Amino acid sequence: MSSTARRQDIWIDFGLSGLTKWFSGPWVGEATEEEIIVGAAGWGGGAYAPTLLEDALRLRESPVPTQVIDLLLRAATGLPYEPDEMQRNGRELMDDIVRISVEQIRRDDPSFTVVPLGPPVGGPIEEAVLAQIRDAAPALRDAVRTGGSEVVAALEQVVEEADPDLGFRLFLRVLKAYLVPVTETQYVRYHEIGERLGYNEFVVDDGTLQSLPDPD
């Protein structure tokens, strides 16, 4: 559904992590949730849709609890977990994303059908992502405050039970949403992981990642 070359060509955060940024845009409140998803899926002539579909399928079919999905979707937009403020739960939202993404892809390829996903990237990259989440955990918990420990645990769970690739992008999105400061060493490591996953460099840092010099 998404090739490394295609991912490298997308110069903004893509997939589900990128969609959470759309949910924090100035149009929120003026557009419906479905309209926002449709807009994201159609971005770049539909370049976004395959990555949205893959992320939504991986998360929907994973053993990650729905409440954890809800928590992360809120955290990725810099908002506290408030179930009453969500129009639908996370798995219902994944259903909508799958439907809308497939509709977008079929505009160019009417014969497109959803096929089972291959296994997510794992092994060394999973360990590398977990190491960075745990390294940043104290600063992340301080920035999120209420529920910070739960957000860290949720990110780890997505990495371990759904997809390290998606977990890493959601981790970066939470860092950006809460303006969590990272050291230059952490910043370099994030870019190294991004290169291994085939990201455009601007997916890791779109100018909002708060990088500070390493402590003496």
pLDDT in tens, 24-82: 765 556 788 888 899 889 888 888 899 999 999 999 999 999 999 999 998 998 876 66
| Tokens 């609890």, located at residue | 65
Written as one letter, the residue type at 194 is G
Written as one letter, the residue type at 58 is R
Higher pLDDT, 120 or 186: 186
d(C-alpha 140, C-alpha 66), whole Å: 22
Question: Is 2 a residue whose pLDDT tops 60?
Answer: no
| Tokens 């939202």, located at residue | 93
How confident is residue 122, by pLDDT bands cut at 50, 70 and 90?
confident
pLDDT at residue 103 in the model: 94
Question: Is 1 a residue whose pLDDT tops 60?
Answer: no
Q: Tokens for 110?
A: 């009417």
Q: Which of 7, 37, 9, 8 is nearest to 25 (CA)?
A: 37
d(C-alpha 13, C-alpha 43), whole Å: 12
pLDDT at residue 4 in the model: 36
Helix, strand, or coil (residue 160): helix
Whole-prediction pTM: 0.91
**Angstrom distances, CA of residue 32 to CA of 29, 36, 38, 39, 102:** 7, 6, 10, 11, 19
Asked if residues 147 and 71 have their Cβ atoms less than 8 Å apart, the reply is yes
Give the residue-averaged pLDDT of 139-165.
94
Give the residue-averaged pLDDT of 15-21.
90
pLDDT at residue 5 in the model: 37
Question: Is 175 a residue whose pLDDT tops 90?
Answer: yes
